[in-house]
Amino acid sequence: MKLAYWMYAGPAHIGTLRIASSFKNVHAIMHAPLGDDYFNVMRSMLERERNFTPVTASIVDRNVLARGSQEKVVDNITRKDAEEHPDLIVLTPTCTSSILQEDLNNFVERASIEAKADVMLADVNHYRVNELQAADRTLDQIVQYYINKARRRGELPTSKTEKPSVNIIGSSTLGFHNQHDCTELKRLMADLNITVNAVIPEGASVHELKNLPRAWFNLVPYRELGLMTARYLEQEFEMPYVDITPMGVVETARCIRKIQQVINAQGADVDYEGFIENQTLYVSQAAWFSRSIDCQNLTGKKAVVFGDNTHAAAMTKILAREMGIHVVWAGTYCKYDADWFREQVSEYCDEVIISDDNGAIGDAIARVEPSAIFGTQMERHVGKRLNIPCGVIAAPIHIQNFPIGYKPFLGYEGTNQVADLVYNSFTLGMEDHLLEIFGGHDTKEVITKGISADSDLSWNKEAQAELNKVPGFVRGKVKRNTEKFARDRGLSEITLEVMYAAKEAVGA
Partner 1 sequence: MSVAQTEALNFECETGNYHTFCPISCVAWLYQKIEDSFFLVIGTKTCGYFLQNAMGVMIFAEPRYAMAELEEGDISAQLNDYDELKRLCEQIKRDRNPSVIVWIGTCTTEIIKMDLEGLAPKLESEIGIPIVVARANGLDYAFTQGEDTVLAAMAVRCPDKAPEAEKNDRNAIQKLLHFGKKKEEVAQEESEYVDHPPLVLFGSLPDPVVTQLTLELKKQGIKVSGWLPAKRYTELPVLEEGYYVAGVNPFLSRTATTLMRRRKCKLIGAPFPIGPDGSRAWIEKICSVFGVTPQGLEEREAQIWASLEDYLQLIRGKSVFFMGDNLLEISLARFLIRCGMTVPEIGIPYMDKRYQAAELALLEKTCQEMGVSLPKIVEKPDNYNQIQRIKDLQPDLVITGMAHANPLEARGINTKWSVEFTFAQIHGFTNARDILELVTRPLRRNNNLKDLGWEKLVKEEAKV
Active-site residue list: 294
Distance, in Å, from the CA atom of 474 to the CA atom of 478, rounded to the nearest integer, reads: 6
Plot region of 507 (φ>0 → left; ψ -120 to 50 → alpha; else → beta): left
Residue 45 or 190 with smaller CB distance to partner 1: 45
375 is in an annotated binding site: no
Single out the segment in contact with partner 1 by CB under 8 A; choices: 258-266, 278-286, 438-446, 463-471. 463-471
CB 312 within 8 A of CB 345: yes
Q: Give the nearer residue to partner 1 in terms of CB position, either 415 or 482.
A: 482
Under rule CB under 8 A, residue 376 binds partner 1: no
Q: Which is nearer to partner 1, 15 or 226 (CB)?
A: 15
**C-beta of residue 394 within 8 angstroms of C-beta of residue 375:** yes
Window of 107-115, 144-152, 181-189, 377-385 that interacts with partner 1 by CB under 8 A: 377-385
Residue 268 or 496: which CB sits closer to partner 1?
496
- The least CB distance from residue 210 to partner 1, in Å, is 25
- On the 0-12 / 13-18 / 19+ scale of CB atoms within 10 A, 216 is buried
Q: How far is CA 17 from CA 23, 74, 331, in A?
A: 10, 19, 27
Instruction: Name which of 61 and 436 has its Cβ closer to partner 1.
Output: 61
* Number of shown-chain residues binding partner 1 (CB under 8 A): 65
The least CB distance from residue 73 to partner 1, in Å, is 11
We find the least distance from the C-beta atom of residue 80 to partner 1, in angstroms, to be: 9
Q: Is 323 annotated as a binding residue?
A: no
Binding mask 82-111 for partner 1 (x = CB under 8 A): -xx---------xxx--xx-----------
Q: Please name the helix (run of DSSP H) or strand (run of DSSP E) that holds residue 90, with its range, or none.
A: strand 88-93
Exactly one of 22, 76, 133, 172 binds partner 1 (CB under 8 A); that residue is 76
Interface segment toward partner 1; rule CB under 8 A; list 175-183, 215-223, 313-321, 460-468? 460-468
Give the interface segment with partner 1, choosing from 211-219, 364-372, 376-384, 430-438 (CB under 8 A). 376-384
User: Residues with Cβ < 8 Å from 328, sequence gap 6 or more?
Assistant: 302, 303, 304, 349, 350, 351, 368, 370
Q: What CA–CA distance (Å, rounded) separates 503 from 497? A: 10
| CB closer to partner 1 out of 128 and 151 | 128
Residue 326: strand pairing partners: 302
Consult the annotation and say whether 36 binds a ligand: yes
By CB under 8 A, residue 469 contacts partner 1: yes
CA-based R_g, the chain, Å: 28
- Give min distance, CB of 470 to partner 1, in A: 8
In the region spanning residues 387 to 416, those forming contacts with partner 1, defined by CB under 8 A, are 396
What residues numbered 11-70 form the site for partner 1, per CB under 8 A?
Answer: 11-14, 33-38, 40-42, 44-45, 48-53, 56-62, 65
- Between the alpha carbon of residue 6 and those of residues 74, 359, 376, 379, 396, the distances in Å are 35, 9, 12, 11, 10
Residue of 267, 339, 461, 492 interacting with partner 1 (CB under 8 A): 461
The least CB distance from residue 455 to partner 1, in Å, is 20
Residues 127-186 that bind partner 1 (CB under 8 A): 127-128, 130
Amino acid found at 334: C
C-alpha to C-alpha distance for 363 and 386, rounded to whole angstroms: 11
Rounded CA gap, 311 and 361, in Å? 16
| 3-state DSSP assignment of residue 303 | strand
Distance CA 101, CA 120 (A): 17
The least distance separating partner 1 from the CB of residue 38, rounded to whole angstroms, comes to 4
51 phi/psi in degrees, rounded to 5: -95, 155
Give the Å distances, CA to CA, from 146 to 122, 151, 179, 243.
Answer: 14, 8, 24, 23
- Quote the CA–CA distance of 291 and 23 in Å, as a whole number: 43
Within 8 A by CB and 6+ apart from 218, the residues are 166, 167, 168, 169, 212, 226, 229, 230, 233, 234, 239, 240, 241, 242
Q: Of the candidates 6, 237, 336, 423, which one interacts with partner 1 according to CB under 8 A?
A: 6
d(CA 183, CA 406): 9
- Quick check: bond before 221 cis, omega within 30? no
To partner 1, the closest distance from the beta carbon of 307 in angstroms equals 16
DSSP state of 11: B
Angle subtended by helix axes 131-152 and 227-237, to nearest 10: 30
Residue 326 binds to partner 1 (criterion: CB under 8 A): no
Q: Least distance to partner 1 from the beta carbon of 181, Å?
A: 21
User: Which residues are part of a known binding site for [4Fe-4S] cluster?
Assistant: 36
User: Which residues are part of a known binding site?
Assistant: 36, 429-430
Residue ranges binding partner 1 (CB under 8 A): 1-7, 10-14, 33-38, 40-42, 44-45, 48-53, 56-62, 65, 76, 83-84, 94-96, 99-100, 126-128, 130, 377-378, 381, 396, 461-462, 465-466, 469, 496-497, 500, 503-505, 507
User: Which residues are part of a known binding site for substrate?
Assistant: 429-430
